Amino acid sequence: MSLRELTNTEAMAEALKEEMSLDPSVFIVGEDLVAHGGIFGQFRGLPEAFPGRVIDTPISETCIAGAGLGAALTGMRPFVDLHFADFVTTAMDEIANQAAKIRYMFGGQVKVPMVIWAPDGAGLSAAAHHSQSLEAWFVHTPGLKVVSPCLPYDVKGLIKTAIRDDDPVVFFMHKKIFGHRGPVPEEEYLIPLGQADLKREGSDLAIITYSIMLLHAMEAAQELASEGVNAEVLDLRSLWPLDWEAIAKSVSKTHRVVVAHEACITGGMGAEIAARIQEELLDELDAPVVRVGARRVPHPFSPPLERFVIPGPHSVLEAARKVLEKQF
Amino acid sequence: MSLRELTNTEAMAEALKEEMSLDPSVFIVGEDLVAHGGIFGQFRGLPEAFPGRVIDTPISETCIAGAGLGAALTGMRPFVDLHFADFVTTAMDEIANQAAKIRYMFGGQVKVPMVIWAPDGAGLSAAAHHSQSLEAWFVHTPGLKVVSPCLPYDVKGLIKTAIRDDDPVVFFMHKKIFGHRGPVPEEEYLIPLGQADLKREGSDLAIITYSIMLLHAMEAAQELASEGVNAEVLDLRSLWPLDWEAIAKSVSKTHRVVVAHEACITGGMGAEIAARIQEELLDELDAPVVRVGARRVPHPFSPPLERFVIPGPHSVLEAARKVLEKQF
Amino acid sequence: MKGSLKADEMVGLYRTMCRIRAFETKVQELFAANLIPGFVHLSIGEEAVAAGISSVLKPDDYITSTHRGHGHVLAKGADPRRMMAELFGKRTGYCKGKGGSMHIADFSVGVLGANGVVAGGFPIAVGAGLSCKLRGTDQVVVCYFGDGASNRGPVHEAMNMASIWKLPILFACENNQYASTTAMSYSTSVGRIALRAPGYSMPGVTVDGNDVLAVREAAQQAVARARAGQGPTLLEALTYRWRGHFEGDPQRYRTKEEVEEAKEKDPILRLAATLRKKKLLSRELEERIQREIQEEIEGAVRFAQESPYPEPEEALEDLYAGDVAQAAKGGLS
Amino acid sequence: MKGSLKADEMVGLYRTMCRIRAFETKVQELFAANLIPGFVHLSIGEEAVAAGISSVLKPDDYITSTHRGHGHVLAKGADPRRMMAELFGKRTGYCKGKGGSMHIADFSVGVLGANGVVAGGFPIAVGAGLSCKLRGTDQVVVCYFGDGASNRGPVHEAMNMASIWKLPILFACENNQYASTTAMSYSTSVGRIALRAPGYSMPGVTVDGNDVLAVREAAQQAVARARAGQGPTLLEALTYRWRGHFEGDPQRYRTKEEVEEAKEKDPILRLAATLRKKKLLSRELEERIQREIQEEIEGAVRFAQESPYPEPEEALEDLYAGDVAQAAKGGLS
Ligand SMILES: Cc1ncc(C[n+]2csc(CCOP(=O)(O)OP(=O)(O)O)c2C)c(N)n1
Ligand SMILES: Cc1ncc(C[n+]2csc(CCOP(=O)(O)OP(=O)(O)O)c2C)c(N)n1
Ligand SMILES: [Mg+2]
Ligand SMILES: [Mg+2]
């Protein structure tokens, strides 16, 4: 495989371009897509390449998400851009009560092939209405699939799979990773939903993570390595379906686990993972699973406050030290 | 204290009546309240007793919740009836982005004394749009308080406290408990938010629960007692603030724990509790914490299906047996 | 216009209304006899709306329906046997017992689903309309809704979007004057829902919703407009809900007299009178229609009663189309 | 009407507009110099709307503002020093650095908050209006919003509720013709937002939003109506956003010429010309006004720059008013 380096923005645009070329039922709908190719340039080139298939909307997230659903029910494969993850609040009925439940409520009569995509995450002083990571709400909602990759390779492969998937996929990308570069093969490839990827092998402890925290976890792992600790980093990529086998493997190998995400710790994805690890693998644990995430406050604006609230490499490091300390 | 038996419906109406008599800034707003005193009769007598202070609205949950917020910011103490918990999906922006965050975003300038009340839960063949238990979303949302009691005594005391509280309180009551009777003193009393109540003392295992699952847990505990197992049942009543001390005490005493709620297990409140127990009290556990909750599907309509999806006394019993089995 | 209707079309309208009435009257009985679980919302008295509108639709046109949707669904061509089985919670129902009265769909005849969320159908209708436009078909979408629904936010977003994109949508308001216990005159800032249409630059028409011929005529114009790519129409049909909001509703919000008075405007009797005047409905024909309908409905009840309940484990099926079905089952859930 | 304005009132309008312009021009510089974190949305060119409306409000009247809210907040009486400190993220800011540009509030002068969610202020305004009514005050509420916001669902719910309850609300649309990259002519199904008012049985008025006297006059009527218990008004002010949607916006959606042409309708120059014609704005007065404003803004910048940042741990304060503050801190969070 020949490799190039692409940014996440480029990887995403390329994935969409390929899928739109292959399948005329794929279209993109959302606010402010055409003029600037999306707020991160994630659709650059597509409005020109696919006239009429990248559709600007009024500011109406409720109806945008629901229109995606209506189109999915009638033969199309919409890719819905929700602008900012924080605005899912305005479309929760369409996502959680309608899209998630329609196939089931109607006894499997119909498929719902749609992607609901949104940039999430903090770190840009964007304050309380433009910084949240809300994936836990959707993992708690039966009927949805939830994806949140970090590296361009994974972004491209998962965007393509999410588009081809016949169920509603909620797809989050952290707004600070759009410029992040990484190798992406020229050849076509797909990444299945529900498959984690071991980004770093290790034996002393497992850091289970996803989205931007992968970068922080890798940094922490490197620091740990310099101290002689061999951490393994498991990138979940998909949160539902959840690759429980990969998690169990890491836990059984390292016996010490950190779960790290940027969302609020309380009630976050880390709670589900930690709860399940102790439920199924308690005997494997040499120390409690430690969770890393944001403190339980909204995102403050001022840089020193925001830095204090959201986790970084130091938070993963701290958690790792705590997990390593304990001797049974 | 003289005791009477009241239903939850009566206890709730009495709490509101007392608070509305004491404080002219308290009012009730929502759909279809006046003609029938609310869909469960929970406001019976109040429209007549307090003319103009029980306010019917158009079907506009988004604006109803947000109007509660606007009123709370300007000197009133609204009690917002959201009709069915499932419809919080239409007011998530108002609840999670506005009410929850306003005090914080604005640096503590203002108080947000409002209650957002909704009946939740399944068991009436009301199907996917009228059966959910969504408390986990709100526990994951900093700025909110979350309450979900079961018995009339607790309902009355907590409704009164929630109304007097200066923060937004999301208050769920299971729709199958409205007719449930229990002792309620004539004398006035309050129950603090964040205080669990030990509904049954025991030493062999702790069942941590809330809302309708309390009834199921008590039933299971009785069954266990007949088998010589002494289960303790801790009724959380409030989910945030969470009475961690009470939980820790039960865990340290019994070393075996079941966490039970009617909401979907995956990403539910039980995940948070189990994760935290293993994080802080791993050495106390003689067996993994076992979670009880709904299976990860929407609520089906047909009775045999619905019974299979939601947990009952048998589910608690099964979990208890699993927890008791394990010998370290 | 009305005159141009063919005889069999007029009789067809009559038959459709009678079928809806008979189906729902039977449901009322069955519910009272505790044979149907959950909640049931009946549209008895409002049959002209669904009948009139569906009479101008093609099989591949779409509708989004509401909590009070039996009429819409029947009129669009759904099978009363599978509907009844669904109401009973049986495996042979449209949704294999997973949906019930508020969640019936039949994608094979364009029924995109009833909805438990008031106004939940609006965004879906917009999406279906957009899909028709993108796929270049001449299909149209009917979005049924109530007077109460008209005040929800998604209505506004949907009407605006449908208008700017000239989507082929008929927004069909069944104004039965109440939303549960709440009178439209209290909840709604405008005397006629159709008066909101100019705010979206679309035609707004109010018709007598108990006059099936008037409904049909207005729907025909709207549908023609939609098929011609000229965009959506808001059609308001004034009618009345004879039964309570749900079966069992104590109805303290209105008087018996008001209900009795409304019943005098029975859309079925009204069309029957017209047909008789035109000599289109002989006693024999009428008896035959009623007999056929009774047989059909009784057959539906029999089908429902004889069908098995789903097995409990079937609750785990139909969640995902993709290969996660397995994962979901194998998971903790 | 216009003639009945007193001289000092007219000069006051001028001063308010100049203060907003000066504040935002300074913010633009500071942002470009990387002294302000996050995102900033400027209302330069739109000053007449906030100035005209606020000039008819009392201190205890309320406003809900938007992401483009510096002008609304300043005109309502907020302190530019605390605003600027907030933009810098300093502890002396209105929100102790927790809010930033999109989340400024000053409850002491009735500013119920800017909002990061487009149309997020509507339900809050309805609640404030309901509160005024329940408390029996004669306060009014101004709900500012943009042309883009007008298509969101909460607008519909809010206008309907405000109308049925005759709430004292002025819905003030700053129609600057764009919502981010999207032209109103594309996104909106009606040529003038005010044309939606009849759908809510409320007056709908469109004025030249660059003519502060016209804005003031229309606002005065709406506010009088509101105070008299006659209900809400929808006022649309046509204006133009001179800067990008946010500072840094590449603005590929419009031409430089279009912007230059719009700038010729500068509301400040326009009032200045009127004032000069009426001999109300001597060169000395004008210089004094500008000098005072410059001093005030420079003082605000100095205040902001000299103020300390909050300590990191302060991030855990101000979440709850009740005793859970402790619990939250002590908790896992
Ligand atoms: C979003 C939402 N809010 C409230 C309800 C509860 N509810 C069900 S039907 C109904 C009244 C609907 O009135 P209308 O739209 O006029 O329809 P009708 O029942 O008269 O046919 C209400 C309030 C709901 N299902 N969904
Ligand atoms: C619900 C929501 N959707 C989208 C956005 C992103 N956004 C911020 S401002 C804006 C444009 C608003 O346009 P308009 O209402 O006309 O106000 P203007 O910016 O022109 O003052 C958009 C789309 C948002 N903040 N909130
Ligand atoms: Mg109605
Ligand atoms: Mg604008």
D133 pLDDT band (50/70/90 cuts)?
very high
CA distances from D287 to D15, D17, D26, D277 (A): 11, 15, 18, 17
pLDDT over threshold 50, residue B105: yes
DSSP per-residue letters across B205-274? EEEEE-TTHHHHHHHHHHHHHHTT--EEEEE--EEES--HHHHHHHHHHHS-EEEEEEEESTTSHHHHHH
User: Which of B96, B105, B140 is facing A136, going by the closest CB pair?
Assistant: B140
The CA distance from B177 to B182, in Å, is 11
Question: From the CB of B135, is ligand 1 less than 6 Å away?
Answer: no
Residues of chain B whose beta carbon is less than 8 angstroms from a beta carbon of chain C are: 31-32, 34-36, 56-63, 86-87, 89-90, 124-130, 264-266, 291, 295-298, 300-309
Q: Which protein residue's CA is at the shortest distance from atom 13 of ligand 2?
A: D179
pLDDT over threshold 70, residue C56: yes
CA distances from B16 to B79, B238, B244 (A): 9, 19, 29
Query: What is the tens place of the pLDDT at every residue in A273-317?
Result: 999 999 999 999 999 999 999 999 999 999 999 999 999 999 999
Edge-to-edge strands, sheet with A205-209: A197-200, A231-235, A205-209, A257-264, A290-294
List the catalytic residues of B. Answer: 130
Judge: B165–D322 Cβ closer than 8 Å, yes or no. yes
Chains near A (3 or more Cβ pairs under 8 Å): B, C, D
pLDDT over threshold 90, residue C105: yes
C325 pLDDT band (50/70/90 cuts)?
very low
Q: Please, is C51 exposed, middle or buried when counting C-beta atoms within 10 Å of its C-beta (0-12, 13-18, 19+)?
A: buried
Q: Does C188 touch chain B (CB under 8 A)?
A: yes
Q: How far is D125 from chain C (nearest CA, A)?
A: 16
Q: Beta partners for A55?
A: A29
In terms of CA atoms, which chain C residue is nearest residue A98? C120
A86 pLDDT band (50/70/90 cuts)?
very high
Q: Please, is A265 exposed, middle or buried when counting C-beta atoms within 10 Å of its C-beta (0-12, 13-18, 19+)?
A: buried
Tell me which residues of chain D, numbers 76 to 105, contact chain B at a CB-CB cutoff of 8 Å.
93-99, 103, 105
pLDDT at A327: 65
The CA distance from B280 to A290, in Å, is 9
The CA distance from C237 to C146, in Å, is 10
Point out the catalytic residue in the list A36, A83, A129, A130: A130
pLDDT at A312: 98
Alpha-carbon torsion (D279, D282, D286, D291), positive or negative: negative
| Largest CA-CA distance found in chain B, in angstroms, rounded | 63
pLDDT over threshold 90, residue D91: yes
The CA distance from C278 to C289, in Å, is 17
Query: What is the tens place of the pLDDT at every residue in C24-40?
Result: 999 999 999 999 999 99
Contacts of A145 in chain B (CB under 8 A): none
Contacts of D35 in chain A (CB under 8 A): none
Q: Give the pair of three-digit tokens for residue A259.
A: 């779960």
Q: Does D311 touch chain B (CB under 8 A)?
A: no
Considering every ligand atom shown, identify the ligand nearest to the alpha carbon of residue D151 and give its number.
2
pLDDT over threshold 80, residue A200: yes
Chains near B (3 or more Cβ pairs under 8 Å): A, C, D
Atom of ligand 2 minimally distant from the CA of A83? 4
Judge: D319–B142 Cβ closer than 8 Å, yes or no. yes
A216 is catalytic: no
Query: What is the tens place of the pLDDT at every residue in C152-208?
Result: 999 999 999 999 999 999 999 999 999 999 999 999 999 999 999 999 999 999 999
D333 pLDDT band (50/70/90 cuts)?
very low
Considering every ligand atom shown, identify the ligand nearest to the alpha carbon of residue D145 and give its number.
2
Q: How far is B129 from chain D (nearest CA, A)?
A: 21
Atom of ligand 2 minimally distant from the CA of A31? 23
pLDDT over threshold 80, residue D57: yes
The CA distance from D252 to D241, in Å, is 14
Judge: B125–C102 Cβ closer than 8 Å, yes or no. no
The CA distance from A65 to B56, in Å, is 29
Contacts of B60 in chain C (CB under 8 A): 151-153
- Computed over its alpha carbons, how large is the radius of gyration of chain D? 20
Contacts of B106 in chain D (CB under 8 A): 94-95, 98-99, 103, 105, 107, 113
Q: Give the pair of three-digit tokens for residue B70.
A: 């606007």
The CA distance from C217 to C221, in Å, is 6
Closest alpha carbon to D131 in D193, D187, D60, D65: D60
For A125-154, give one letter per residue: b (16+ CB within 10 A) or e. bbbbbbbbbbbbbbbbbbbbbbbbbbbbbb
Disruptive mutation site among C126, C150, C160 for chain D (greatest number of D CBs within 10 Å): C160
Disruptive mutation site among A104, A116, A145, A191 for chain C (greatest number of C CBs within 10 Å): A104
pLDDT averaged over chain C?
95
B250 CB-side CA count, 13 A: 30
Q: How far is B154 from chain D (nearest CA, A)?
A: 19
pLDDT over threshold 60, residue A328: no
User: Which of D117, D180, D314 is facing A129, going by the closest CB pair?
Assistant: D117
Atom of ligand 2 minimally distant from the CA of D152? 1
Question: From the CB of C150, is ligand 1 less than 6 Å away?
Answer: no
The CA distance from D37 to A124, in Å, is 8
Query: What is the tens place of the pLDDT at every residue in C305-324?
Result: 999 999 999 999 999 997 54
Is the distance from CB of D237 to CB of D174 less than 8 angstroms? yes
Residue of B36, B59, B80, B132 with the most ligand 1 atoms within 8 Å of its CB, for mutation: B59
- Computed over its alpha carbons, how large is the radius of gyration of chain B? 19
Q: Which residue shows structure tokens 């764009």?
A: D178
Backbone φ and ψ for D223, nearest 5 degrees, come out as -70, -40
Q: Give the pair of three-digit tokens for residue B153.
A: 């005594």
Contacts of D200 in chain C (CB under 8 A): 189-190
Disruptive mutation site among B69, B88, B141, B256 for chain A (greatest number of A CBs within 10 Å): B141
User: For chain B, what's the residue count?
Assistant: 328
pLDDT at C300: 98
The CA distance from C205 to C236, in Å, is 6
Q: Please, is B310 exposed, middle or buried when counting C-beta atoms within 10 Å of its C-beta (0-12, 13-18, 19+)?
A: buried
Give me ligand 1 centre to Cα D140, in Å.
Answer: 32
In terms of CA atoms, which chain D residue is nearest residue C194? D199
D26 pLDDT band (50/70/90 cuts)?
very high
Contacts of A112 in chain B (CB under 8 A): none
pLDDT at D322: 74
Residue of C42, C180, C240 with the most ligand 1 atoms within 8 Å of its CB, for mutation: C180
Contacts of D164 in chain C (CB under 8 A): 186-189
User: Using H for helix, E for strand and C for coil, what is the string for chain A?
Assistant: CCEEEEEHHHHHHHHHHHHHHHCCCEEEEECCCCCCCCCCCCCCCHHHHCCCCEEECCCCHHHHHHHHHHHHCCCCEEEEECCCHHHHHHHHHHHHHHHHHHHHHCCCCCCCCCEEEEEECCCCCCCCCCCCCCHHHHHCCCCCEEECCCCHHHHHHHHHHHHHCCCCEEEEEECCCCCCEEEEECCCCCCCCCCCEEEECCCCEEEEECCCHHHHHHHHHHHHHHCCCCEEEEECCEEECCCHHHHHHHHHHHCCEEEEEEEECCCCHHHHHHHHHHHHHHHHCCCCCEEEEECCCCCCCCHHHHHHHCCCHHHHHHHHHHHHHCCC
Q: Which residue shows structure tokens 């279906």?
A: C128
Residue of D49, D118, D144, D253 with the most ligand 2 atoms within 8 Å of its CB, for mutation: D118
Mean pLDDT of D257-276: 98
If residue B155 lies in a helix (H) or strand (E), which one and from where to where? helix B152-164
Query: What is the tens place of the pLDDT at every residue in A28-55?
Result: 999 999 999 999 999 999 999 999 999 9
Tell me which residues of chain D, numbers 124 to 153, contact chain C at a CB-CB cutoff of 8 Å.
151-153
Judge: B109–D321 Cβ closer than 8 Å, yes or no. no
ipTM surpasses cut 0.90: yes
Question: From the CB of C146, is ligand 1 less than 6 Å away?
Answer: yes
pLDDT at C145: 98
In terms of CA atoms, which chain B residue is nearest residue D316? B104
pLDDT at B326: 73
Q: Which residue shows structure tokens 């929700």?
A: A82
Q: pTM for this one?
A: 0.97
B2 pLDDT band (50/70/90 cuts)?
low
| Largest CA-CA distance found in chain A, in angstroms, rounded | 63
pLDDT over threshold 90, residue D270: yes
Query: What is the tens place of the pLDDT at every residue in D282-295?
Result: 999 999 999 999 99
pLDDT over threshold 50, residue D331: no
Q: How far is D147 from chain C (nearest CA, A)?
A: 13
* Whole-number percent of chain A with pLDDT over 70: 99
pLDDT over threshold 70, residue D327: no
The CA distance from D17 to D13, in Å, is 6
If residue B9 lies in a helix (H) or strand (E), which one and from where to where? helix B8-22
Query: What is the tens place of the pLDDT at every residue in B237-282?
Result: 999 999 999 999 999 999 999 999 999 999 999 999 999 999 999 9
Is the distance from CB of C160 to CB of C223 less than 8 angstroms? no
A326 pLDDT band (50/70/90 cuts)?
confident
